[in-house]
Structure 1
């Protein structure tokens, strides 16, 4: 482990530089061309074989090192992301919401994927270095995974069979605390509902028109009534993406609404999606409009793997406390002061046994891990689809002031901080140590595979995105 420590001490400046470059690029889903290329160039320079255009996605790639024969050892994959969020561009270090003067109102890394992808990248290189020094055998892969934010990039990749021969997948996510990502997540389906009506003069001949906007509004009302009669853990969100124009004296001939439907399991999400479709069909019938339903994307619910989680938790504990200097502690205090009590409470409540009534500015320890817990994180991730294909584990690692919510301007503003960089390096060490343990103890991999089969109840992975749904960026 001293060798591992030396590796990351030496590589930390290069990690920081790469993460900071990607933070500044802040590219959106399926448009992460420059960010992906930065990763590709660095991994190729480290001796990794590069496969571009994975699953037909220009910003998805695979970097691999190690033998390709039957005696090459297990395939250990690290999952990397690098996409940003729209509308979250911020000035680094600002303590008030301050869009950058360079690109106001554009994208920003509000989920820390610049750190996520970089840490996984260097974990792959660190495992490579360990295997070279130790003579151990494994095929090391880094998957460059685009469009986690609303694009389900990994789900499309899983549909294409990209992860089928992987033995274990490891990843992490920046957060304001550290611990095993032990929650399940919600499966989801996203679809567009496009209503086609008939334009007319809204005053002179309204009876000749058929309002597509009325259909959208009736659909939304109908879905709101549906909420009382759906599973309590389900969630339905919508955004009206086309109101039919800006002239109120014209009956709107076209209107569109985008729906995101979530539930605890894939089958529940699919069933709820069918009910939402029926509401839309009813709205079209009431307004005498035609309806087009365009399936956009989906992702599965996350399958936990307690075998891998136990290894990951042990390596988190072995890392010891996160250490940042007094200046970074002060910055964290200042950022925490910009948060609401509700922001902090949302993170504090699940960690009450660790915090013991205190609210730290920087979470330095490790949250307890209970393999019997059945918590649900009311969000979704396309990592879930990888977890159905191969045993998968991930960690939360503190990179921001305690309580900082995801997808917030505060998180973007902290993206270049010393705390963010320290958490990123910590995550890379933990992922590498976990991978080394699995290579040294192949029985753990077999145990994890058996657990996955049990959790799937012997059934194969079924991608929630139908085979005939095209990639989002290829649609007219």
Structure 2
């Protein structure tokens, strides 16, 4: 595929992809409840001539759209879930939450649409050149706290795919070459006895006390785990709002992260012992419910090199004056800490440099150099589990102002801006160019597969989500 073909195809269909992005943006849905977004995107796939399998992997909102036949098989990973608490009126430079208060604070309306656009461009190339090969677009729900792709991997949805491509919105343009943190997400529920907190407190057994004791114990554990580990928790049930009642039921949700799944598992077992100790101290009953998990990301350097070359070929369109002014206003809404750490954000996405090219600017207008990184991103993604079973590469394209943290109202407000849509189509072009190189150059694909097979031979994959655990919505 020539660069001109990719650029021309995406430019001709620009309005279509912008409308799809806007539809998903205006129908924000949290994990595994993306019914409107999933059906809309599935229908768009069918309009483009893809054969669509809905409820892929027995997940209501997952789907696989397929075009072509035979090898090679190139997959594109698309997401479309939103986040609670991040509703925001678009294109505003002040916090204006929506009534629903659910929003695309991680840009997944752009992510899913950009991956779809890339799949459409690759499909068009196969059609126009009458070539053998298969393009698959994977509609992947529940990335935010649900590990939808990990469930899909467990159910064999990605079997037979030769290479997978995806991207993520951010303030930068680079190859996402860092590994990531594996994680477990687990509910700890305590059951006690209610009683009058003044008249007969000795008859009660407080589940809330158990939660608090558990949290204290885990906080002491932090000193005795690997440096990169993270343990987050949310008290999801305090047992009520009456202080004069001994709380009989309480629940805490833990998210445990570390660079390797084995490390997460070791920490998880220690956390379970702390929970058991809290139950013993309070004479309450403990129930543990495993919610979800994901592995650490395995970069494929051979595929990253091709993707980087394609990103360079796609190039970058300079922001216009209106986009610059909007970004500058958003910059003023950031805290001093956010401003000072703006380079840390883009480095997490694979940016290489000292930031000198950003001096006096609020939007990235260049493409970072590519250097394979041995660093670990202090975050998690379910793309990781795909990377254990299929050679995978990711890029990021600038869709937001420098300094914009993910999972903030500032990220949400930029979600359907002209600058965001430019970044979305830049990512689509780079992925489409990469896909066609893999479809037409056996040597390129063979190098990618050889690297993957060498890793796989030494590192057999085990899905971190137990077979009995099913995808769950936010509770």
> Following TM superposition, by how much is the alpha carbon of 1:416 offset from its aligned partner in structure 2, in angstroms?
1.5
1:210-263 Cα distance to aligned partner (Å, 9 max, x none) = 111110000000000000000000000000011111111111111100000000
> Following TM superposition, by how much is the alpha carbon of 1:449 offset from its aligned partner in structure 2, in angstroms?
2.3
Q: Aligned partners of 1:231 and 1:206: how far apart in 2?
A: 40
Q: Aligned partners of 2:155 and 2:360: how far apart in 1?
A: 45
Q: 2:159 aligns with which of 164, 170, 178?
A: 164
Q: 2:34 aligns to what?
A: 32
Range with bigger deviation, 302-311 or 330-339: 330-339
Range with bigger deviation, 134-143 or 224-233: 134-143
Q: 2:218 aligns to what?
A: 223
Contact 1:184 1:376 in 2 (8 A): yes
> SS where residue 150 of structure 1 aligns?
helix
Superposed CA RMSD in Å reads 1.5
Contact 2:150 2:465 in 1 (8 A): yes
Distance 1:201 1:344, change over 3 A: same
Distance 1:115 1:132, change over 3 A: same
1:357-381 Cα distance to aligned partner (Å, 9 max, x none) = 715211011112112x211111100
Q: How does 1:236-247 map to 2 (within 5 A)?
A: 236-247=231-242
Q: Aligned partners of 2:27 and 2:315: how far apart in 1?
A: 33
Whether 1:235 and 2:230 are equivalent positions in the alignment is yes
> SS where residue 257 of structure 2 aligns?
strand
Q: 1:381 aligns to what?
A: 381
Q: How does 1:46-445 map to 2 (within 5 A)?
A: 46-67=48-69, 72-100=70-98, 104-349=99-344, 350=347, 351-355=352-356, 358-371=359-372, 373-445=373-445
Distance 1:357 1:330, change over 3 A: closer
Distance 1:344 1:455, change over 3 A: farther
Q: Taking structure 1 as the reference length, what is the TM-score of the superposition?
A: 0.95
Contact 2:180 2:259 in 1 (8 A): yes
Q: Aligned partners of 2:445 and 2:214: how far apart in 1?
A: 48
Q: Aligned partners of 2:60 and 2:441: how far apart in 1?
A: 36
Q: Aligned partners of 1:284 and 1:394: how far apart in 2?
A: 44
Q: Aligned partners of 1:32 and 1:470: how far apart in 2?
A: 16
> Following TM superposition, by how much is the alpha carbon of 1:352 offset from its aligned partner in structure 2, in angstroms?
3.8
Contact 1:302 1:383 in 2 (8 A): yes
Q: Aligned partners of 2:471 and 2:400: how far apart in 1?
A: 34
Structure 1 residues without counterparts, runs of 5 or longer: none
Structure 2 residues without counterparts, runs of 5 or longer: none
Q: 1:8 aligns to what?
A: 10
Q: 1:44 aligns with which of 43, 46, 58?
A: 46
Contact 1:88 1:105 in 2 (8 A): no
Contact 1:348 1:355 in 2 (8 A): no
> Following TM superposition, by how much is the alpha carbon of 1:286 offset from its aligned partner in structure 2, in angstroms?
0.9
> SS where residue 149 of structure 1 aligns?
helix
Count of residue pairs the alignment pairs up: 467
1:427-462 Cα distance to aligned partner (Å, 9 max, x none) = 110100011111122222222222223334533321
